[in-house]
Structure 1
């Protein structure tokens, strides 16, 4: 059953049939994290959404080059090109090298991605690793007449650009509206226009992260890195550019301007944006006291949480809402998702034990077709999950002897659940993993007992401390050693 994939394009504000530039190859660029703090749950939602897109396009047979950057320089405290670089500021406070901060939070980010079963991108470039490319991009923009220098800093001339291009094409706002709604801030006296933004910033003597350029010793503006790296790895124009919707008015708008100025084309054909995560109907924020980090959600160690939730419960919760819809977190919603996820995986675990009959009372192929229809409608994961619960109902009915299906349809049922639950939604069978845990831990505890018997106390302590770090606590007594999960 041949079906077309339709994707909502922020640029045109409508669903469009997905037609890659160079099928079966697909280029996809997603704005990655700024690694100066722990990954927050809003980030996690964005990367789970694009993981679904990456997985589904790959399932359809596309050869996807997925590029997700790491911002490790140039992201200032203010979008008005003011304040310190966030990583440099963190490094000064901690009395560390900036790249120590980068390493710490990059490792933490990758750990969260792995726990949530988010596949790594094809390429993960860093801003600091592409300074040369960013400098060359600035040279091109200057040569085209859309940038100017003031005392070693380079600024993009938005009003001049808007004379031939539509600066607000992505946000849907015209330049006059943008100018009227932009307040004049201190430190902008070097700029010709209120909307102008920095391409290269001359560093102050105390600035930690700086490089030599034709204009000054300084560092790149935040928006520049994505233009430079997407162009290097995906070309002047590629298929999908994405990120959170908060990037639309400034970061992605400025990316388009940079690329149009130097390459004479919008960098992406399809702009895809995820919506925000709220908490009990309110925006998630530290000032409101309603924010939490992924590891707090997994441990339950936060005052707004009633309990801990497993990583796959969290992933399932996020996939139950369409990526363009606001997703509201509450303990009640999480508990409902936990029940739904367990129901789905309990049925999955029954598949191998299903007995075939000599007839069939239901065909599985129509369910598979509807699963494809859901994902082909702008990656509609909630509708897909509803279809998978129909498959779950059938599995339970066959297992309970209330329904009969033949061997062919049992094979199709197994393929359906493997394709859509495991490969595309990226849900892991936590129950199967937990079933193996006692055997693994008992084996390790026995190794520790042997080490103690051999008076190898260093190894014994190392095993105990290592298990403690992964959530297994040992208790020694006269009767032996017992363990519990913490």
Structure 2
């Protein structure tokens, strides 16, 4: 039974055949680290975590790269505005690199709690400036890019296939970017920045053949993906909002530089909505993971995400999360009962369930169907265990193997009751959250009452215990 993946490039499901037999190269766009991770990050990275887990379960050796954008991502997601990290640094009055490293640590804390495996390599944009400069130099030498006043732009008219991923023509790109793409120095309004000249006072800047500056957002992913995975990679993933301009620009600059196909299978996850409305900071419905973890265990959020297909929108509401929690508790209860059941004489045929689970995952990673099959299996197991004959040892072993393989190892939604580690970890995290919120409140009251000695004592004692408190305009945050 072969794996089929919906390829966003060709807009159809295609049989997955890796470039190298037995090996999968996979790149997923990571976060821009200027704030805490949110529910949109969770949907994307949980989804691709399952992709990697299923590929490994299927016997592939997966080389998974996920970058950290710590420079170059401007506020309009194109070529205008301010660097997002530099802007946040100015707000908090600290160094941009401190912003990047603080929120990188915060991001991994949240991903770890969601049960997401770390990528094989997590390269940063700032750590790969020479690679980006080399890529840009190649494009200039080949006539695909040009320099004007210290800025370097990619010429979209030099790459005839520009728009093949998003379906946008250069004229449509011109129109969609009309409000910002009016700089006279560009030869075509749709041309995008590869290198930006650093203005006076800009802290994050590097020397280059075109002067002091920093790379454009799009250059980093091409440079790092090709450095670690080769000029053609198997799978490139990311959010649907990145299809244009980011991924379209990645294709153009990569294929113009190498003359080879850049990505064989493009995968894009859909967006998160809140009560039917698109999630966004400007709309005031932004869901911060650290906040939501105070109300729901991270595994419940993971389960909630996987109940919808990665290509489908995910609508967040308290009611939906509560329903997910109830459903997961029932599934976990069955998993616990199954491992504690004494052998009997009854039997259960597990092969149909295994085939259905495998078929669901091989059909473009259809996690909602796989979860539904696990519930069907749980229903059959509960009925068999409750019967006077119970289940014989062979049936128990086969059912345990299915629950462990698909519920624990692939989907990551079930926790091993034999050790109680997962449950204990979640309870410890929830307890720590409660204690920290209490300490933050006490410290805030101390500061309001000008009791700075007590305020500093709380901060310093926590620091010795490995917990950092950070005062921001939005309030006090903490991390380990």
TM-score by length of 2: 0.87
2:81 aligned counterpart, secondary structure: strand
Deviations 1:436-482 (A, max 9, x none): 579999xxxxxxxxxxxxxxxx9xx9699969999xxxxxxxxxxxx
8 A Cα contact 1:397 1:403, kept in partner: no
Distance 2:39 2:403 in 1: 27
> Which residue pairs with 1:417 in the alignment?
403
| 2:50 and 2:411 in contact (8 A); partners too | yes
Change (3 A) 1:468 1:264: closer
Pick which of 325-334 and 62-71 moved more.
325-334
Equivalent position of 1:157 in the other structure: 155
C-alpha separation between the residues in 2 aligned to 1:86 and 1:329? 26
Q: Which of 106, 123, 126 matches 1:125?
A: 123
- Rounded to whole Å, the distance in 2 between the matches of 1:70 and 1:175 is 29
Question: Which of 319, 322, 340 lines up with 2:327 in the alignment?
Answer: 340
* 8 Å Cα contact 2:37/2:107 also seen in 1: yes
C-alpha distance in 2, partners of 1:435/1:229? Answer: 37
Taking a change above 3 Å as real, the CA distance of residues 186 and 157 of structure 1, as seen in their structure-2 partners, is closer
Partner residue in 2 for 1:294: 289
Distance 1:438 1:130 in 2: 36
Q: Does 1:88 align with 2:86?
A: yes
What is the number of residues matched between the two proteins? 440
User: Which residues of 2 match residues 304-323 of structure 1 at below 5 A?
Assistant: 308-323=295-310
The whole-number CA distance in structure 2 between the counterparts of 1:256 and 1:220 is 17
Secondary structure in structure 1 of the residue aligned to 2:283: coil
Cα distance in 2 for residues equivalent to 1:135 and 1:209? 15
User: Cα RMSD between the aligned structures?
Assistant: 2.6
CA deviation vs aligned residue, 1:23-75 (integer Å, no higher than 9, x gap): 21110000000011111110111000000001010111100000000000111
Moved more, 413-422 or 397-406: 397-406
Deviates more, 1:286-295 or 1:412-421: 286-295
Q: Deviations over 1:234-273 (max 9, x none)?
A: 0000100000000001000000000111011231100000
- Show the counterpart of 1:444: none
1:179 partnered with 2:166: no
**Shift of residue 160, structure 1, vs aligned partner:** 2.5
Q: Which stretches in structure 2 are left out of the alignment for 5+ residues?
A: 430-456, 470-480
The residue matched to 1:154 in structure 2 has which SS?
strand
Q: Within 2, Cα distance between the matches of 1:227 and 1:419? A: 35
Query: Does the Cα contact within 8 Å between 1:184 and 1:194 map onto a contact in 2?
Result: no
Moved more, 177-186 or 3-12: 177-186
Preserved CA contact (<8 Å) 2:146 2:155: yes
- Kindly state the Cα deviation for residue 87 of structure 1 after the two structures are TM-superposed: 1.1
Superposed CA deviations along residues 68-108 of structure 1, whole A, max 9, x for unmatched, are 00000111112341222111122223221211111100000
Distance in 1, matches of 2:253 and 2:100, equals 26
- Is 2:109 aligned against 1:111? yes
How far apart in 1 are the matches of 2:463 and 2:179? 59
CA distance in 1: counterparts of 2:317 and 2:466, whole angstroms:
32
SS at match of 1:325: coil
In structure 2, the CA distance between the partners of 1:190 and 1:112, relative to structure 1 (3 Å rule), is same
Shift in Å at residue 331 of structure 1?
Answer: 1.2
Match of residue 447 from structure 2: none
Q: What's the CA shift for 1:404?
A: 4.2
Distance 1:407 1:236, change over 3 A: same
* Corresponding residue of 1:357: 344
Q: How far did 1:186 drift?
A: 6.6
8 Å contact from structure 1 (residues 117, 428) kept in 2: no
Deviations 1:265-301 (A, max 9, x none): 23110000000010110001223222220111111xx
Question: How high is the TM-score relative to the length of structure 1?
Answer: 0.86
Aligned to 1:71: 69
- In the TM superposition, residue 309 of structure 1 has moved relative to its aligned partner by 1.1
- Return 5+ residue gaps in structure 1 as ranges: 300-307, 442-457, 471-486
Deviation digits for residues 195-231 of structure 1 (CA, Å, limit 9, x no counterpart)? 0001111111111100000111100000000000000
